[in-house]
Amino acid sequence: MHINGIPIEATFAEAFDMKATRLVITADDIGWARDAAAAMTGFGTSVIACGLEIDVERELQPSETPDGRPGIAILAFAMSGTELEKQIPRRAGQCVLTCPTTALYAGLDGDKRVLPKRIALGKSLRYFGDGHQISKVVAGKRYWRIPVMDGEFVCEHDVGRIEGIGGGNFLLLGRSTAAVAKACRAAVDAMKSLAGIITPFPGGATRSGSKVGSKYKSMFASTNEAFAPCLAHHPSSLLAVGEHSVLEVVIDGVDFAAVSEAMKVGIEAACHCSHPSELMRVTAGNYGGKLGRHHFHLAEVLA
């Protein structure tokens, strides 16, 4: 299979079950909302060491937010519900509560009957009010109003969590880092308009694609030497002659369809902005199908 003359390898991306949630940050202007979101999603690239994978899903118009102000939707993914329940209140407290004019709301519809597994938001943060906080229930949702120095920090009581998918991916292999970076930017830019997915690595891509395990006992992930150009001579290398740089776009999504659509949009954008002499191949990362139950075959995704 080829797109714009660029070969698409007959392989699949292997992804995993994760626990996911969505949050909505609003503020008086989009600038403050972006600042809070940037802090909240900082150091949230990989569950390997960050605890969760978290990023901005999209910016919201005032008509789309609970309080009619500009907002930002954030998606967060973790390997366990317990980790999500630990990370989200911690980040909300340090990154959103602290940011001027912001408010924090659940981004997933559904009360306890629909989404019985809940992650605390105001349920934890209310104690900052030191007894002066006010609880209000509106349309079955509980909100906390916590006095702060610019007025009140408004925060929904909790948010549900859902089953998500983490680790959807594709690899762009090219003649130079500049060529691959250009394709990578195009892919990530195209995916930004999609709902239900995030690309949590810096700029949406990682250069340090990893394999499971290491020669060092303390490491449970290490460099994927099969795609490291400086190890092209290594017997396990999967690089062809002329492939001097590789970047991996990693996608987390709320369901299979969202990840699949994002891979399609991203790969097509990367290929259509590149020449076959620059972007030489597109492939995907997997572990032989033994670790993750979600397999995104490139031929099916791009069909």
Residue numbers at the binding site for another protein (CB under 8 A): 26, 66-69, 103, 131-132, 134-139, 143, 145, 150-152, 154
Structure tokens at 209: 């694609």
Rg value, the chain, Cα: 21
Minimum CB distance to another protein, residue 152 (Å): 4
286 CB-near residues (< 8 Å, 6+ apart): 11, 12, 13, 14, 292, 295
Minimum CB distance to another protein, residue 89 (Å): 20
Minimum CB distance to another protein, residue 108 (Å): 17
Minimum CB distance to another protein, residue 119 (Å): 20
Nearer to another protein, 139 or 241 (CB): 139
Minimum CB distance to another protein, residue 95 (Å): 18
Minimum CB distance to another protein, residue 36 (Å): 13
Nearer to another protein, 106 or 262 (CB): 106
Nearer to another protein, 52 or 74 (CB): 74
The tokens 């306890």 sit on which residue?
Answer: 112
Nearer to another protein, 2 or 132 (CB): 132
Nearer to another protein, 5 or 68 (CB): 68
Nearer to another protein, 158 or 268 (CB): 158
C-beta contacts of 122-126 below 8 A and 24+ residues apart: 122/146, 122/155, 122/156, 122/157, 122/158, 123/89, 123/157, 123/158, 124/89, 124/92, 124/93, 125/89, 125/92, 125/93, 125/97, 125/153, 125/155, 126/155
